[in-house]
Amino acid sequence: MNHFGGKGIKLLAAFTIPVLGMIFYLFSIGALMNITMLHWLFALLAATAIALFMGNLVDRFSRSAADAQEQNLQLKSLFAASELFAFSLNPQEVLNQSLDIIRETLGFDFADIWLLEGENSLRLAASNLPPIFGVSDTYPADRCLPGLALSSGEGVFIEEPQTDKRIEDKAWLNQLKYRSAAALPLIHQGEKLGVLIVGSLKKYKFTAERRELLQTFVNQLSLHIKNAMLYREVQQQAILDEVTGLYNHRHLNEYLDKEVKRVDREGGHVSLLMLDLNYFKDYNDLYGHPAGDMLLREFGEVLRDSVRETDVAVRYGGDEFAVILPQTDVLGAAQLSARVLEQLSKHRFPGFEKIAGGALTVSVGSSTYPEPAKSKVELIRLADQQLYRMKEVSREARKISS
């Protein structure tokens, strides 16, 4: 009976009812009068009633089974999301796996997670759209579905994208072939973080239950995104120097460990520059520590602008700075050292007209792994030794000029 289906049973009953009506008519005019026919008539009537009842029962059972299956998938998706959000500390991993949950258990073919950058721009943080579609990494925050969701602060559900007047630009619909789509803003305690876009290649009915499920999922996702942002801020604070904004001594050691292992594994070089501000103590004594901090901050900005994007500028401690130079040999380190000194000499640091030499000068030392330095510790030590040799030369020059 399940194979035949509730619709089939109802069709059989629908065919039987007119036949019964005809038989009753013939019976009423006396055309059919024998008792056997009357018995057969009532049997057929009973069978029709049973068929109608069974048809409704099968339909109800089928709907209940489908609803139970969908509810099971919904609970599974929420459990998977809760487990993911609770135990993963990797923000990008969470975003990527969220897309898998959306596709596998919520029934959508594609999904994008966009995060706000400033007030007017969205950055694509995760997507399971094939590269062939060529989705841009940025999108205006006030356009199309994302704009509708962010401006209203509520989910936007589109069951007929081609005819829905809320979507003015339908070019992307034609490209992606969406037959249903939705946009839900990612909001945590009133703060707009971004938007989730989901799309289906087949007709998708956004029932009240499905909308509630999507909203519950988005609420969890928003909370985790905010927590990930806070976690990243704490991580950044732990490795940044609060005075200059450069990386600190701790990060230098961690980064050098990674670079030394990379060289051991893949070959190549890593070099290190150590820099020290000459006569910084004199500057501090003359102008005070707040002025000294301002000088260090300004020096850090100039140093950061003087090195390459792949280099890592660090405040090593006090008036000492360092620059990690990945994939750089001895000659490359010497060239970059000269470049940094040239850029620093072009910048006029205020207050040094009353200090020896009349301008800020810097002593620099460098070393390279795996030659001449044989370890991370030796890399730092050799660069530091060269730095202090240069500093001694500077002091001797000061004595001679005096």
Catalytic residues: 319
What is the spatial distance between Cα 102 and Cα 110, in angstroms, rounded to a whole number?
A: 8
DSSP code string of 142-195: TSHHHHHHHHHTS-EEES-TTT-TT----HHHHHHT-SEEEEEEEEETTEEEEE
What is the spatial distance between Cα 102 and Cα 217, in angstroms, rounded to a whole number?
A: 9
Q: In what order do the strands lie in the sheet with 320-326?
A: 312-317, 320-326, 270-277, 362-369
Locate 221 and state its tokens. 């996702």
In this structure, what are the phi and psi dihedrals at residue 183, rounded to the nearest 5 degrees? -130, 130
Bridge partners, residue 351, by sequence: none
If residue 272 lies in a helix (H) or strand (E), which one and from where to where? strand 270-277
Locate 300 and state its tokens. 């850090």
Contact 282, 215 (CB under 8 A): no
Q: At what angle do helices 208-239 and 35-87 cross, to 10 degrees?
A: 10
* Best CA proximity match to 144, nearest among 126, 119, 178, 169: 169
Bridge partners, residue 111, by sequence: 198
- Residues making up the chain, counted from first to last: 402
What is the spatial distance between Cα 252 and Cα 265, in angstroms, rounded to a whole number?
A: 20
Contact 183, 148 (CB under 8 A): yes
Q: At what angle do helices 91-105 and 35-87 cross, to 10 degrees?
A: 180
* Best CA proximity match to 391, nearest among 368, 358, 364, 357: 364
DSSP code string of 87-141: H---HHHHHHHHHHHHHHHS--SEEEEEEEETTTEEEEEEE-S-GGG---SEEET
